[in-house]
Structure formats: C-alpha cells, structure tokens
Amino acid sequence: MTSEIKTFEEAVEFHGHTCPGLALGYRAAEAALQEIRSGRDKDEEILAIVENDACGIDAIQVLTGCTIGKGNLIFRDYGKHVYTFLNRTTGDAVRVAERPDFTLDRIDDTIGLLRSKVMQNTATPDEEKEFRRRSGDVVKKILEMPADKIFSITHVTLKPEEKARIFGSVKCGICGEMVAESRARVRDGKIVCIPCSEHYSRGW
C-alpha cells in the first residue's frame, strides 16, 4: 500500500466535476483510511463496502484504490450514505455513516430549492449560476468541517470477505456470447446468460 493521500482535485479530475456528493465521499474515505491505519490499496489489501451508487463512490475509489474490477469494492444497493472499510492486513474495520443531523440544507438552506430547479431544467441562467456558486461554497465547507460533524464513525468487527475469484466462462446456449460460469443459468436444459434466462415470450 502507499501512504499518499490523493487530493480532492484528483478526485474531481476522475469524476468529471466538483459537487457536494463527491466531497462527502472524499471525506468518508479520508476518515476511514485514518481510522483503519491504511494507505491506498494496491492489490486488495483494503475492502470497501458501499451502500449507494452516488457521486461520492468515485472519490472513494480514488482515495482507497478499491474498485469493482479488482473485486474489493462491493456495492450494496441500500440507498444509504454508509461505507464500511476493512484493512485486511491489520483486521481494522470502520463503518462511516452520514449523521442524521447532517444535511446540505443545514450548510445552505437555499441550495435544495435551486438544486431541484436545476435537475428539472426549470432554472433560469442566473439561478443555475447561483446554484453552481453555492455548491462550490458547500463543497468548501464540507472539506473543512470536522469529519465527526458529518459522519458517525464506528469501529466494527468485520469478517474478511473472500478475495476476488476468477471464474471460467461458458457459451450461452441462446445468444452465443460468453458468460462467467458463476452467473450462468439453466433454461430449457441449456446453459444461458442472465438476460437470455429472463426473456419470456408467448410466441408472438
């Protein structure tokens, strides 16, 4: 592992733009690495379990080095700003959860209305400009706030998950494409991929 902490600017470069969500993910990963006494992952020394697929996950990938491709970034679709990290070398694990009393509206009580207008394409050019300015101010405040004002940070006992495995591939009996054998299904006696196994037709 490397002890170098990537900058927020590097996370922005990876993500494509700056936003409060990215800043929250950055602070979560930064706090977690400190708590589990770890640098950036090189080859599955760290495990990250994330419970949403929002902007902050990109910052977590940049800071921790955990990725879906390596198998040490596990996505659980719970819709919660909760992240659990494990240092496989030391066994240290920490759960970082957004505090119920933390909201962006508490930092800026106008940004919620502006965000809704921008997302619904009903904002005027001036409102969109104001939203970008306020978002930048919120990002700055998030990056400066003590982590414990944003997150509940709890050390936990986490059973080490198995490292990523490489599975053989088989040919789908319907579409002919290759599929990992661990994801293959059986339909009408044929080994098939998931999309083909879910297809249903009454014949017309």
Domain range enclosing 184: 169-198
Residues 104 and 71 both lie in one domain: yes
For residue 100, the model assigns a pLDDT of: 92
Taking residues 126-147, what's their average pLDDT? 94
What pTM, to 2 d.p., does this model score?
Answer: 0.81
Look at residue 2 and tell me if it is in a domain. Answer: no
CATH code (residue 76): 3.30.1330.130
Taking residues 114-139, what's their average pLDDT? 91
CATH code (residue 181): 3.30.60
Residues 62 and 97 both lie in one domain: yes
Task: With cut-offs at 50, 70 and 90, classify the pLDDT of residue 2.
Answer: low
For residue 202, the model assigns a pLDDT of: 52
Task: Identify which has the larger pLDDT, 69 or 111.
Answer: 69
Task: With cut-offs at 50, 70 and 90, classify the pLDDT of residue 106.
Answer: confident
Taking residues 176-201, what's their average pLDDT? 86
Look at residue 203 and tell me if it is in a domain. Answer: no
Task: With cut-offs at 50, 70 and 90, classify the pLDDT of residue 6.
Answer: very high
For residue 1, the model assigns a pLDDT of: 61
Could you tell me if residue 203 is left (phi over 0), alpha (psi between -120 and 50 degrees) or otherwise beta? left
CB 171, CB 157: distance < 8 Å? no
Residues 32 and 82 both lie in one domain: yes
Residues 150 and 182 both lie in one domain: no
Residues 92 and 149 both lie in one domain: yes
Residues 189 and 94 both lie in one domain: no
Look at residue 1 and tell me if it is in a domain. Answer: no
Lowest mean pLDDT among 66-70, 117-121, 200-204: 200-204
Residues 58 and 119 both lie in one domain: yes
Whole-number Å distance between alpha carbons of 25 and 63:
9
Residues 147 and 181 both lie in one domain: no
Lowest mean pLDDT among 59-73, 75-89, 178-192: 178-192
Whole-number Å distance between alpha carbons of 199 and 197:
6
Reported as type and span, the H/E element at residue 96 is: strand 93-98
**What count of other Cβ atoms lies within 10 Å of the Cβ of residue 108?**
17
Residues 15 and 100 both lie in one domain: yes
pLDDT(168) > 90:
no
Look at residue 163 and tell me if it is in a domain. Answer: no
Query: Backbone phi, then psi, for 87, in 5-degree steps?
Result: -90, 105
Taking residues 192-201, what's their average pLDDT? 80
Look at residue 39 and tell me if it is in a domain. Answer: yes
Residues 174 and 92 both lie in one domain: no
Into how many domains does the chain fold? 2
Cα of 62 vs its chain's centroid, Å: 10
Could you tell me if residue 17 is left (phi over 0), alpha (psi between -120 and 50 degrees) or otherwise beta? beta
Residues 67 and 147 both lie in one domain: yes
Token pair recorded at residue 17: 């733009």
Task: Identify which has the larger pLDDT, 105 or 19.
Answer: 19
State the maximum Cα–Cα separation within the chain, in Å, rounded to a whole number. 61
| Per-residue pLDDT tens digits for 27-70 | 999 999 999 999 999 889 999 999 999 999 999 999 999 999 99
For residue 64, the model assigns a pLDDT of: 97
Lowest mean pLDDT among 3-17, 103-117, 133-147: 103-117
Look at residue 37 and tell me if it is in a domain. Answer: yes
Residues 104 and 146 both lie in one domain: yes
